[in-house]
Amino acid sequence: MEKNRLAQLLVGLLACVLVLLLSACEQPRDPKQDTVEIRKVLANRAKAIATKDLELYRSLFMPEYTDGQTTLNLIITDMKEAFERHPGSIKFTAQRAPVEFNLNTARVIQRISYEVEGMEKPIETREIVLLRLVGEQWLISGGVQIGLI
């Protein structure tokens, strides 16, 4: 019985050492490069809205996007309906804000604005966009507000 227990402890210890060795082999990510990539995602969001390109818009989000009761399908439907309600131009801008990282996730707290042709004033609000690194690609994973336009 003692030998069995000792063997189990040894196997567990070896597994821990293996995990530590494997994690040490991973290349550390460059936060500056990740910030550049995240800014591209956010810029592509503005481009997708301005050009009313739902496929580009969809490609910026995790397929499993969920934030409370909001799913990716709900976000896409909301934007599609906004495009239909507002056939004129829609300009989306976001205040440049710092990117906060935590392992394979990031958060950007920003002021956003929708300028919709035919509306007297822009719609402005604060938004906390969450992103997740999937493979080598940053995708929006939460925080996008719906029903604004």
Q: Name the residue with tokens 């009313």.
A: 52
Inter-CA distances, 39 with 9, 17, 29, 43, 146, Å? 47, 37, 16, 6, 21
What is the end-to-end Cα distance of the chain in Å, rounded?
69
**Which pLDDT does position 57 carry in this prediction?**
98
Inter-CA distances, 61 with 6, 69, 92, 144, Å? 48, 16, 17, 10
d(CA 81, CA 9): 59
**Which pLDDT does position 7 carry in this prediction?**
55
> pLDDT tens for residues 61-85?
999 999 999 999 999 999 999 999 9
Inter-CA distances, 6 with 3, 13, 20, Å? 5, 10, 21
Written out in words, the top-level CATH class of the domain with range 30-142 is alpha beta
What are the percentages of helix, strand and coil residues in the chain, rounded to 5?
45, 30, 25
Average pLDDT across the chain, whole number = 89
> pLDDT tens for residues 18-58?
444 444 455 678 889 999 999 999 999 999 999 999 999 99
Reported confidence tier of residue 100, pLDDT bands at 50, 70, 90: very high
pLDDT at 90 over 70: yes
pLDDT at 143 over 90: yes
Mean pLDDT of 84-103: 96
The verdict on pTM exceeding 0.85 is no
* Domain boundaries, given as residue ranges, for the chain: 30-142
6 or 119, higher pLDDT: 119
**Which pLDDT does position 18 carry in this prediction?**
44
**Which pLDDT does position 91 carry in this prediction?**
97
5 or 148, higher pLDDT: 148
Is residue 46 within 8 Å of 56, Cβ to Cβ?
no
